[in-house]
A = this chain, B = another copy of it.
């Protein structure tokens, strides 16, 4: 993965703390709102100043740090994994849902609803140790390719957000992922791709069990949901894992609303941002499709003065592999 990640890594180290930050963000109100916030909380004596240890920033992942189209990348993992496992399960051809997966009938798969997807997640994410699972994910993420861009999923990430992560960290922020995605799925690659270490990745999880196997300690992954890190779950998870309220939050859907409310609802300097997918040419435009519901959060953003990124007009570059407009 080193080769494929090198352009991404360069996004972090490219510039000094406050020297022309955020090159992929066009000049304008959106970029200015970010820079103003960061200047305020880092300037000693400024009434907006925030102590370094309180500078916690939380980021949704799907649709905020990387793309979530044509469907959640983790679903691609689930479907690919089902095909591998099917080799040992000839009986799956008689199961409506499983056979739909095997013949790439996405409509039938998504038609099975949340319960169907959860069933597929359990089959593909449980029944092995945590270390075995990490290896499976690492192998998949190295070899799988995004269907539209024909690149590793770890390159279908948003260059402006990489710059933002680096900019915040250069200004003393600790950056966390708070995602509905599986925590042990993301931790395998989040440090290399985003510079976010495993202990700063928060996500959904299944139950694990500690046991000694012939004198060797293992954690076994069980087919049982432990925590769903979405909607009202996000502030709960933030409190559980971080234990202090973030001062900045970044999301892109109604599933991030409560995280933004929780972040913005504290005292002192606060920043909340929504990424609005508006670029049908370079990425995807959600409006008029069933993708990434954002109505409630957009309304609240307008009412509360949160920043909304219009991807089409605010970003002069979307992916690391793409040159600037």
Q: Is B208 a contact of A239 with CB atoms below 8 Å? A: yes
* Chain B, Cβ-Cβ closest to A240: B205
Residues of B within 8 A of A262 (CB): 210, 217, 219
Residue of A199, A241, A242 with most partner-chain B CB within 10 A: A199
Say which residue of B183, B197, B236 sits within 8 Å of A209 (CB atoms). Answer: B236
**Bound-complex Cα distance A217 to B265 (A):** 6
Interface membership of A261, Cβ < 8 A: yes
* Chain B, Cβ-Cβ closest to A197: B53
Interface membership of A152, Cβ < 8 A: no
As for how many copies of this chain the complex holds, the number is 2
What is the size, in residues, of chain A's interface with B at 8 Å between Cβ atoms? 37
Query: A residues near B, CB below 8 A?
Result: 53, 56, 130, 174, 183-184, 187, 191, 197-201, 205, 208-212, 216-217, 219, 226, 232-233, 235-236, 239-244, 258, 261-262, 265
Residues of B within 8 A of A210 (CB): 232-233, 235-236, 258, 262
**Bound-complex Cα distance A324 to B295 (A):** 65
Task: Give A58 Cβ to nearest chain B Cβ, in Å.
Answer: 11
5 nearest A-B residue pairs (beta carbon): A198-B243, A217-B265, A210-B232, A210-B235, A187-B243
Say which residue of B183, B191, B212, B265 sits within 8 Å of A240 (CB atoms). Answer: B183
**Bound-complex Cα distance A56 to B198 (A):** 12
Q: Is A209 a contact of B184 with CB atoms below 8 Å? A: no
Say which residue of B187, B208, B232, B235 sits within 8 Å of A236 (CB atoms). Answer: B208
Task: Give A89 Cβ to nearest chain B Cβ, in Å.
Answer: 28
Say which residue of B200, B241, B244, B265 sits within 8 Å of A216 (CB atoms). Answer: B265
A217-B235, A219-B236, A236-B208 are contacts. A242–B199 as well, Cβ < 8 Å? yes
Residues of B within 8 A of A241 (CB): 199, 241
Residues of B within 8 A of A240 (CB): 183, 205, 208, 226
**Bound-complex Cα distance A262 to B216 (A):** 9
A210-B258, A219-B239, A239-B208 are contacts. A198–B232 as well, Cβ < 8 Å? no
A–B complex contacts, Cβ < 8 Å, 27 sampled: A53-B197, A130-B239, A174-B199, A187-B243, A187-B244, A198-B242, A198-B243, A198-B244, A199-B199, A199-B200, A199-B242, A199-B243, A201-B243, A208-B236, A208-B239, A208-B240, A209-B236, A210-B232, A210-B236, A210-B258, A211-B232, A216-B265, A217-B258, A217-B262, A219-B236, A219-B239, A226-B240
